[in-house]
Amino acid sequence: MGFFWEGLPPYLLPWSSQSLIEPRAAVETGTFRGDTTTLLANTFGSCTSIERSHELAAKAQGKFRGDPRIEILEGSSRELLAQAIPSREKSAFFWLDAHGIYDFDGTEAEENPLLAEIDMVIAARDSSNTIIAIDDARGMGTQPDWPAMSEIAIPLGNAGYTTVYLDDIFLAVPQRLKTDLPKLYQESRMVEATAVFHIWPRVLRAFKSQARLDSLVEKLPKSLRR
């Protein structure tokens, strides 16, 4: 979840699809309700998504029955990701999201498969035609069971990726795209500026009514306020 986006920031999709030559495919870990699964299939032509929860996987399988672009695999990404990774000839976009962000309320029993996922992608893919986006990157090294950012960035750097952090997403892209990253940053700011301006009138209205409320409370006799 970023400052303005819950999940995958929309500006990342056109930038990534323009950067990866066809044929392309997407892989998602953590299907949840399948909202991003649809976006990924629309952008990259197909999406294989892995969901550990039986209930959520069954719902998503029902939702996407009849859509040949989408495959939902039930089980942990630790066991299933290797078989979902597209062959090296195809460009691939990975959305690694099989984890929660707990803000310290989570339990140690929650597993975070991120390091295993990264190992599998590095082993099976060439960095020249692969983009990896990891959600909730603020949790890296700060949340229970999350690896530190360096534990993710170092092996990816050794495998030929350039890694950056943008809008709570940890992004690993082919080194040839390093010079295009400022353009991605600019696009992210443009969208966010629009998002702020869009909600600004509501923020202002809320602020005004809060000020009125505060002045009303201030006028109440002290005995009533207690």
Ligand X SMILES: C[S@@+](CC[C@H](N)C(=O)[O-])C[C@H]1O[C@@H](n2cnc3c(N)ncnc32)[C@H](O)[C@@H]1O
Residues in contact with ligand X by CB under 6 A are 7-8, 28-30, 32, 35-36, 50-53, 56, 76-78, 97-99, 111, 113
Tokens describing residue 214:
């505060």
For 121, residues 6+ apart whose C-beta sits below 8 A from its C-beta are: 81, 85, 94, 130, 132
Q: Which residue is nearest to ligand X (CB)?
A: 30
Instruction: Name the amino acid, one letter, at 37.
Output: T
Q: Which long-range contacts (CB under 8 A, 24 or more apart) does 195-200 make?
A: 195/4, 196/4
- In the complex, the smallest distance separating the C-beta of residue 220 from ligand X, rounded to whole angstroms, is 44
Specify the residue, 110 or 214, whose C-beta has the smaller distance to ligand X: 110
Specify the residue, 36 or 130, whose C-beta has the smaller distance to ligand X: 36
Give the residue from 91, 88, 87, 80 showing the smallest Cα distance to 132. Answer: 91
- In the complex, the smallest distance separating the C-beta of residue 31 from ligand X, rounded to whole angstroms, is 6
How many other C-beta atoms can be found within 10 angstroms of the C-beta atom of residue 117? 25
Tokens describing residue 128:
């020249």
Specify the residue, 8 or 118, whose C-beta has the smaller distance to ligand X: 8
Specify the residue, 52 or 125, whose C-beta has the smaller distance to ligand X: 52
- In the complex, the smallest distance separating the C-beta of residue 118 from ligand X, rounded to whole angstroms, is 13
